[in-house]
A and B are shown apart, each in its own frame.
Chain A
Amino acid sequence: MSPRRIVVAAGLLAVAICGPAAVLIAAPGAPAPMGLGGDEEFRLAGDGTLPQERPALREHGAPLSSAERGYAIRLALQTLPDSARDVLDAPGGEVLAADLPGGRDPDDGRRLVQVSLYDYRADRLQQVLVDLTADRVTEDRTVSGLQLPPSAAETEVAFDLALKAWPALPFLHEFLTSTDAPLLTMEQVHVVAGAWLPGGDVGDAELSDATGCGPDRCLQLLVALPSGHYLDTGDFVVDLSTRTVLDLADGGTHGP
């Protein structure tokens, strides 16, 4: 992605349309909320944009600075095809992670960063190894069905899809009876999301069918009231690839 496209993508975030569901994301310059509390201490790194120039590099084994991470993400995004889209359907991939790669060789003086991106257009993960010392990408792998923990934006999109699903999901009713108020926005609750794959390590055949999750990118939502009481959200997952809510109890879907 060119620098210009990144700026354009940032601008699109003010109000983005994700399939048929409208999702409000905070404007650039103000980190989007993740529900109640806990996020106040995050602030923009610089002006929030990815660095254009390679920053000063730390020792090869030191934790990444924000500038190093941001610059590595910039280089990694440039490996995606022009058709790539993030969770908001904006050009570019969804950035899932950027950190030092595992298996660091203590004798390797290179400053390496592993960046993981998700292209929603192709429904594939792109994992890129960036050599900041050489100022270039050295490895680039694309795979399907590899689902990393979600980004903040993915969590927000998934929650919004769950809010708007029809028939309404039971946790909304549970919220209403618990608080005497309807659940309308993410700011009313704490939300944690995890990548969901059918069966997982338990190998349960009953949990392995009926969904397209795995090849599709699905999230499970864990939603808590301000009191700390968790709502019952174990009966559905959100398929971000298809923008649908899947009922785990009967295998059906909840439409928007």
Chain B
Amino acid sequence: MGPDPGRRRRHALLPTLLLSSLVVAIPTTVSAAETPASNSDDLGCGSAEVTRTLATGSAWRMCARIHPFKGLVLEDVQFRPATGDREYAGWMPVLDSLYLAQLNVPYDTATAAFNDITSYGFGDDQLLSQTSETCGGETMDVEQSFMRGSVLVERTVPGICLDEVGTGLGWHSQEGYANSGDAYEQRGSGLEVSSLSKVSWYEYQQTITLSDQGTVTVGLGATGDLAPGQLFFPTDPTVGWPVGPAADGEQRHGASHWHNATYRVDFGIGTGPQQVEQWDYEQPNPGKPALLRGTGTVRDRAFTAADPDPTTWWRVVNPTSLNPDGHPRSYEIVNDATTDPYLPLTRPVVSFTNDHSCQEYASMNLNAECPGASVADYVAAETDPLTDPVAWVNVGFHHVDRDEDQSPMPVHWQSFSLVPRDFLAQQATTPRERSCDNGMTLGRTGSCAAINTSPPTITAEAPSAGPPAPGTLLTATTGSWRHARAPLTYLSLWLRDGQPIVTVGPDGLPAAVTGARYLATELDSGHAISVQVTASATGVTPGSATSAPVTISSDQPASAPGTTTARARPTLRLHLTGGRADRPRLRIVVRGGLGPVTGRVRIQTDGDRGVARRLGQGRATVTLRRPHAGRARVVVRFLGSQLYLETTATVWLPARAPRSALLEGGTP
């Protein structure tokens, strides 16, 4: 079979196989190649588009539809991890398409075999409507139409189920031992896309679960009823199992049979050509049975993996799409299912070909361009290097009937998974607390980010009952924060109706109100006051948390002592030292009952322009110049703060006579 003119564009643009040795030379083109193929608003498939963000933050989007024969088909499957831009911007393509390409059901009696996909089909009127029992999530309408005789008939049914399901424990990491230290834990979630089709006595649920970790699990659940009649209930016990009581002295047996499913997985990881890599393991030294050496080989030609070693596995790699660590993105095929070893079609665990649009079905191909062909034919006909891989994955189930399989038969499952391998630099839902654990950082404890575990709270120190009023002193806690890799420091920012409260700073410029305490003012009347605490430390991603708001009453101001005015009045003390020196020093001490006084003081001598000093722990010092004669009047003014009123004190500086002065001020 020659190259398909309908091959994907990326295949045509990059026709040459990238040899392994060239991979290292590629990074210069990485930024362009790694740009997600599609960040457009939609995938161009109208009502078939599904976009879901899971509870854990990861998201999937794709086109989901029902084909008349294949049943559920997913196309253009793209993933976005919860970690978002820490990995890449927007969506990253994973699969071009995924569907059940054949379901072969041979009975052990060798009297019957069915190809449920190519002979019967899973769509059209084989598709069953979803109900509240079959679908725990939301349903998606499927429009169907086909010819019935000479007329075109149609229906719209809820044919696809979209259900976010729990996937059990997502991850758990306990710092310390025996429940000491912090625990990091989360339950996983996934989007389950499913449909239900009835082909005679058997009914099949096609289920594809797309997890928050980027894993795609493809399952086929069989239910309905056991095969009926004389043909499928032989007397030969070697080809079945006794089911039900004997009748007329004869025990009949439900015929054993295979459900041989072959899935067609068309990979589309990022953009650009892809490779198929096979990993084999060797045990070189019987004296060291644990020693295993793995070797990866790029398989550049179509092949069938018949009877591989149980440790062998395969992945599809895009060598030009690198994760933030510089590792090429890939998806690994994990297939632990049994395969029917007695048929050439179903014996291989997997086969790989390039994507050719005419190669639609695993056997009995229904496309007239490759009529009646099977996977073995595709492999034999492939002449191009494998750069646009399609995996034909065999997933079998040998059903030996039981009494318990009688109507309605409990669902039995067969499945395989596509698991991201280096698709991401870290797991898809890595919490911020572990965001710095990448590489050789194992063993360190403490969060990589400042993570609030209980928000800050505000306490009003108003003595009277009722809501806080202007004049009430509000005190905030920092809240509780997860143990971090370095000690955290906190900054408390006060908010009025969610916006920073701005006051006029000592320098006359607007300044946000920060600190552990805040005295409510008339401006706060009728407004919600909250505090936002930002925690930070070197090497730790900062975090912030905001308290619940406290509404300041617009009624009477609080009447507690010391809070009858908007701010408290501090005590301003001046202490002149320096004896007879020409340049004595003036020590300034400002104290108050609301805690350390911050802000500035201005010192003016005989009405000059003066100088300003910032208080440290309520203290400041300034050097003065004595007058040549007489005495100078030195006025010290505390300029006020959010908690304290402006206050002034005066000291007289004589020309000569040294003396100490201690005056208590003063005039407000």
B-binding residues in A (CB < 8 A):
6, 9-10, 12-13, 25-26, 28-29, 31-32, 34, 38-39, 41-46, 48-50, 58-66, 69-70, 73, 88, 90, 95, 97-107, 116, 125-127, 141-143, 145-149, 151-153, 192-197, 200-204, 206-207, 220, 222, 224, 228-232, 234-235
Contacts and interface: CB of A to CB of B under 8 A. Distances in A.
B153 A106 contact: no
Contacts of B149: 10, 13, 25-26, 28, 31-32, 88, 152-153
A204 B110 contact: yes
B20 interface: no
B229 interface: yes
B364 interface: yes
B489 interface: no
A31 B153 contact: yes
Interface stretch (B368-376, B538-546, B577-585): B368-376
A229 B145 contact: no
B115 A230 contact: no
A100 B168 CA distance: 37
Nearest to B230: A232
A-B residue pairs, 7 tightest by C-beta? A62-B46, A103-B357, A48-B151, A61-B45, A127-B368, A232-B229, A230-B228
B147 interface: yes
A149 B70 CA distance: 11
Contacts of B112: 234
B110 A50 contact: no
Contact of A95 (B126, B147, B200, B367): B147
B263 to A, nearest CB: 14
Interface in B75-99: 75-76, 96-97
22 contacts: A10-B150, A28-B149, A31-B151, A43-B154, A45-B154, A62-B47, A64-B143, A95-B146, A125-B371, A146-B371, A149-B68, A149-B69, A149-B119, A153-B148, A153-B149, A193-B120, A195-B120, A197-B119, A200-B364, A201-B113, A201-B346, A224-B200
B154 A50 contact: no
B152 A50 contact: yes
Contacts, number: 241
Contact of B120 (A194, A197, A224): A194
Contacts of A98: 146
Contact of A145 (B46, B120, B371): B371
Among A103, A116, A126, A192, the one with the most B-chain Cβ atoms within 10 Å of its Cβ is A103
Contacts of B69: 97, 148-149
Given A97-B146, A99-B67, A230-B229, A61 B155 contact: no
B44 A59 contact: yes
Given A61-B44, A61-B63, A70 B145 contact: yes
Secondary structure at chain A's binding surface: helix, strand, loop or mixed? Answer: loop
Contacts of B247: none
A141 B369 contact: yes
B594 interface: no
B366 A116 contact: yes
Given A58-B46, A228-B225, A194 B119 contact: yes
Given A60-B44, A106-B76, A204-B110, A66 B150 contact: no
Interface string B103-118: 0101000111111101
A38 B120 contact: no
**Chain B, interface residues (CB within 8 Å), range:** 35 or more
A44 B152 contact: yes
B364 A201 contact: yes
B474 to A, nearest CB: 57
A146 B106 CA distance: 21
B65 A63 contact: yes
Contact of A204 (B97, B113, B125, B200): B113
Given A45-B152, A48-B153, A234-B111, 8 more contacts: A38-B125, A42-B154, A44-B154, A65-B143, A104-B75, A127-B369, A201-B345, A230-B201
A25 B148 CA distance: 10
B231 A232 contact: yes
A97 B149 CA distance: 13
A66 B143 contact: yes
Interface string B43-78: 111111000000000000001010111000001100
Nearest to A94: B147
A117 to B, nearest CB: 10
Contact of A202 (B8, B38, B113, B121): B113
A43 B68 contact: no
A66 to B, nearest CB: 4
B34 interface: no
Given A61-B48, A106-B44, A202-B110, A32 B157 contact: no
Contact of B6 (A12, A103, A197): A103
A129 B118 CA distance: 19
A201 B343 contact: yes
Interface of B: 4, 6, 8-9, 38, 42-48, 63, 65, 67-69, 75-76, 96-97, 102, 104, 106, 110-116, 118-121, 125-126, 142-143, 145-155, 157, 199-201, 225, 227-232, 260, 266, 343-346, 355-358, 360, 363-364, 366-369, 371-372, 374, 407
Given A64-B145, A105-B9, A229-B228, A44 B366 contact: no
A119 B336 CA distance: 44
Contacts of B230: 232
Given A141-B368, A200-B115, A230-B228, A42 B151 contact: no
Contacts of B43: 61, 106
A45 B145 contact: yes
B146 A39 contact: no
Nearest to A220: B119
Given A125-B368, A149-B69, A224-B200, A70 B45 contact: no
Contacts of B231: 232, 234-235
A196 B119 contact: yes
Contacts of A26: 149
A44 B148 CA distance: 9
Contacts of A46: 152
B152 A73 contact: yes
B296 to A, nearest CB: 29
Nearest to A152: B148
B239 to A, nearest CB: 14
B511 to A, nearest CB: 55
Contacts of B6: 103, 105
Contact of A200 (B47, B113, B199): B113
Contacts of A95: 146-147
Given A42-B125, A63-B48, A195 B119 contact: yes
B390 to A, nearest CB: 10
A63 B372 contact: no
A103 B46 contact: no
B78 to A, nearest CB: 11
Given A63-B47, A98-B146, A201 B154 contact: no
Contacts of B114: 194, 200
Contact of B199 (A6, A70, A192): A192
Nearest to B360: A102
